[in-house]
Structure 1
Amino acid sequence: MASSNQLRNETLCLVRSICRTLRTQMKGKVSESPMFEVIRQTVRQNKVTDQRICRAPNELRYLGETYRTYLDSGEKYRQLLNKYYGKSERSVEQTAEMMGFKLPEKH
């Protein structure tokens, strides 16, 4: 089982990672966003103390990694949508190039 100090360091790294992801997706300060407040409250609720032990030692890490995956997936989705969503009519050549194909040369 991991020590309480090691769990604290893992939690801190995970929260920083989530904040980096949020920073790339948001305008303004991350610390002022409602999402950051939810993260902060969740970490405090699952804090291991002498008087209270969190429900499962890995629960907070699992929750954080799930949230980070959700944020990363949302960002990838937006990037794909911007890249492939029809902005206007494309020619056959543009579509083939976008998909990584080469058309036969015309003579």
Structure 2
Amino acid sequence: MASSNQLNETLCLVRSICRTLRGRMKGKVSESPIFEVIRQTVRQNKVTDQRICRGPNELRFIGESYQTYLSSGEKYRQLLNKYHGKSERSVEQTAKMMGFKLPEKR
């Protein structure tokens, strides 16, 4: 049987993925198709007395890959919204956006 530590890690990973999805989706995450894929993946990789997982860390690797993909996509969208300009910016606007102060004009 799977150890309680493995079950806790799996549960934490699934919850983390669901939190990331919750910010992007309308409605319940548990009713979405991606959640069903996650649930099936967890069940397929479950270690039991009769069946051994393909690799002891494969489920964790798959879950971490999902989590990395989702969080990276979110960070990309945030950066794109913040820095993608609709038109040319002035030097002052660019410096302010990057957190710099220009010297005062005399």
What's the TM-score, normalizing by structure 2? 0.92
The number of residues matched between the two structures is 105
- Shift in Å, 1:89: 3.4
Q: Equivalents in 1 of 2:28, 2:87: separation in Å?
A: 35
Q: What runs of 5+ residues in structure 2 fail to find an aligned partner?
A: none
1:75 corresponding residue in structure 2: 74
Aligned-pair identity (%): 84
Q: Equivalents in 2 of 1:28, 1:88: separation in Å?
A: 35
Which piece of structure 1 moves more, 85-94 or 44-53?
85-94
**CA root-mean-square deviation:** 1.2
Q: Equivalents in 2 of 1:56, 1:6: separation in Å?
A: 16
Q: What runs of 5+ residues in structure 1 fail to find an aligned partner?
A: none
Residue pairs, 1:9-88, within 5 angstroms: 9-88=8-87
CA offsets 1:51-89 (integer angstroms, 9 cap, x no match): 101111111011101110111100000000000011333
2:5 corresponding residue in structure 1: 6
1:103 corresponding residue in structure 2: 102
Contact 1:30-1:36 at 8 Å conserved across structures: yes
Q: Equivalents in 2 of 1:58, 1:41: separation in Å?
A: 17
